[in-house]
Amino acid sequence: MEKEFNKKLNHLTKVNLARYSTMRLKSWGYLYELESFHEARAVIQELKKQKRPYRLIGGGSNQLLSSWEEGVYLKLPKADLHLLSVDEKKMTLSCDASTTVNAVLQLAKKYSLGGFEVLTGIPATMGGVAFMNAGTSLGEFSSLVSFIEWIDGEGNICSKEFLTSDDRAKNFSYRKNHFCGEGEVITKMILKATSRDDALEEKITKYLNYRKETQPLSSKTCGCVFKNPAKEMPAGKLIDGANLKGVHVGDLFVSTLHANFMENRGEATYEDFVALVQVVKEEVFRKFHVELELEVKI
């Protein structure tokens, strides 16, 4: 096993990374596709030994992959769907971190697991969602979490239970978790429904329809580019207020549907993204004296 992955690591060639992120920006880099979380542990330990930097890719819906000479992108393994299950009595759902939000929501609907609507429309893996504490205007991932297992920087298997709302508040905040650092790997989790909710399917459909009308969900984007500076001050409103809808650098446009999204309408590059972010930040600061902070990882 060790020999096999070492051989693979030492003979990587650069690949086009466009298909590994939802924004599909053109860039080239070394990519290692992991077969399992077990392999992730060994590969990360080897990369650390070689002092070679790496970055994890889950669904690639919240990160932009730049051309990278020094490091390796690690594409997390495909989901083990045998781990996707519901305990009806406890109202809990277990899954592997590579399971998609979509697969989780399908099962949640089947068992009327109330509270799961907070994840509606997030095109991601559950590991990415947990890492980012992703959420919508209906709520955040942290409201559901009951248990998480992850591999830390030294290759140790760690786990945490979240029994009270205090545990959740200490370990998660807006688009952040506070226990698993960048490069550590979430492997599996258990989520707990907040109630039994026979209207779950209806809630999900309604919210999804609303999102389709107000966000460019079929375009090549990375979701919201900037964090909301405050609850009552959404970044999209500020960008719209600065008249930036439709402004573009190359093929990358500030969406006309939702100003906090940027759409790759052709062959946009990572450099176009950096330049457009700069334009938006400067203009919003000039007009409102507010410093926008990136939500997407670059």
Ligand X SMILES: Cc1cc2nc3c(=O)[nH]c(=O)nc-3n(C[C@H](O)[C@H](O)[C@H](O)COP(=O)(O)OP(=O)(O)OC[C@H]3O[C@@H](n4cnc5c(N)ncnc54)[C@H](O)[C@@H]3O)c2cc1C
Instruction: Considering the complex, state which of residue 124 and residue 193 has its C-beta at the smaller distance from ligand X.
Output: 124
Q: From edge to edge, which strands make up the β-sheet containing 185-192?
A: 85-87, 92-96, 185-192, 145-151, 157-161
> Quick count: other Cβ atoms within 10 Å of Cβ 10?
9
Instruction: Considering the complex, state which of residue 91 and residue 226 has its C-beta at the smaller distance from ligand X.
Output: 226
**Counting contacts by CB under 6 A, is residue 42 touching ligand X?**
no
Residues 251-290 that bind ligand X (CB under 6 A): none
Q: How far is the CB of 115 from ligand X (least distance, A)?
A: 16
Residues 181-210 that bind ligand X (CB under 6 A): 182, 185-186
Among 84, 118, 132, 189, binds ligand X (CB under 6 A): 132
**Counting contacts by CB under 6 A, is residue 79 touching ligand X?**
no
Question: What values do phi and psi take at 269, rounded to 5?
Answer: -115, 170
d(CA 241, CA 295): 19
Which x/- pattern over 134-173 shows residues binding ligand X (rule: CB under 6 A)? xxx-------------------------------------
Query: For the chain, where are the E strands, in sequence order?
Result: 14-16, 28-33, 54-57, 68-75, 85-87, 92-96, 113-114, 135-136, 139-140, 145-151, 157-161, 172-173, 176-177, 185-192, 195-196, 248-249, 252-254, 262-264
**Counting contacts by CB under 6 A, is residue 217 touching ligand X?**
yes
Which residues of the chain form contacts with ligand X (CB under 6 A)? 22, 55-63, 76, 97, 121-125, 127-129, 131-132, 134-136, 180, 182, 185-186, 217, 221-223, 297
